Amino acid sequence: MRNIKLILGYDGSEFCGWQTQPRERTVQTTLEDAIRKLTGVQKVHANASGRTDTGVHAVGQVVNFHTSSNLPITKILRGLNAHLPEDVVISSAEEVSDEFDANRHACASFIAM
């Protein structure tokens, strides 16, 4: 099983926050749907460095997920961006150790604007 770390940003205007909620559009659900479509793996859990509330934007949010997919990391990055709506973008993807957990290990992300 591979552990994939993503750095993503999103315009939260049309989202009801990060965490999956029944019948609501959330960033977590949107990302997990894109991962399912790309990898064909149905059981997906995207773990984030933090959750956001309704309408909150993010730049540099750290996320990780585990997958059995053998897709090269460059295809994961390009493929996920192709499956995501315009208000979510992944800026980087990398394979990390199995112990990495975005919620426990992400300290800070600084992006020059």
58 torsion bin: left (phi>0), alpha (psi -120 to 50), beta (else) = beta
53 annotated active-site: yes
Residue 111 included in any domain: no
Q: Which of 11, 53, 98, 101 is catalytic?
A: 53
**How high is the mean pLDDT of the chain?**
91
Gap between the Cα atoms of 86 and 19, Å rounded: 19
Q: Which two tokens stand for residue 110?
A: 């600084």
Give the pLDDT score at 55.
85
Q: Give me the DSSP letters along 1-57.
A: -EEEEEEEEE-GGG-B-SS--TTS--HHHHHHHHHHHHH--S----EESS---BT--
**What are the pLDDT digits (tens) for 28-50?**
999 999 999 999 999 999 999 88
Structural domains of the chain, count: 1
The one-letter code for the residue type at 13 is: S
Give the pLDDT score at 50.
81
Residue 110 included in any domain: no
Residue 94 included in any domain: yes
**What are the pLDDT digits (tens) for 1-32?**
999 999 999 999 999 999 999 999 999 999 99
Residue 62 included in any domain: yes
Instruction: Look up the CATH number of the domain holding residue 51.
Output: 3.30.70.580
The answer to whether 28 and 74 have CB atoms below 8 angstroms apart is no
Distances (CA, A) of 102 to 13, 14, 32, 77, 84: 24, 24, 15, 17, 20
Residue 44 included in any domain: yes
Residue 54 included in any domain: yes
Question: 94 is in which domain, residue-wise?
Answer: 2-105
Residue 113 included in any domain: no
pLDDT-derived band of residue 108, with 50, 70 and 90 as boundaries? Answer: low
Residue 73 included in any domain: yes
Looking at the chain, the whole-number percentage of residues with pLDDT higher than 70 is 93
Looking at the chain, the whole-number percentage of residues with pLDDT higher than 90 is 81
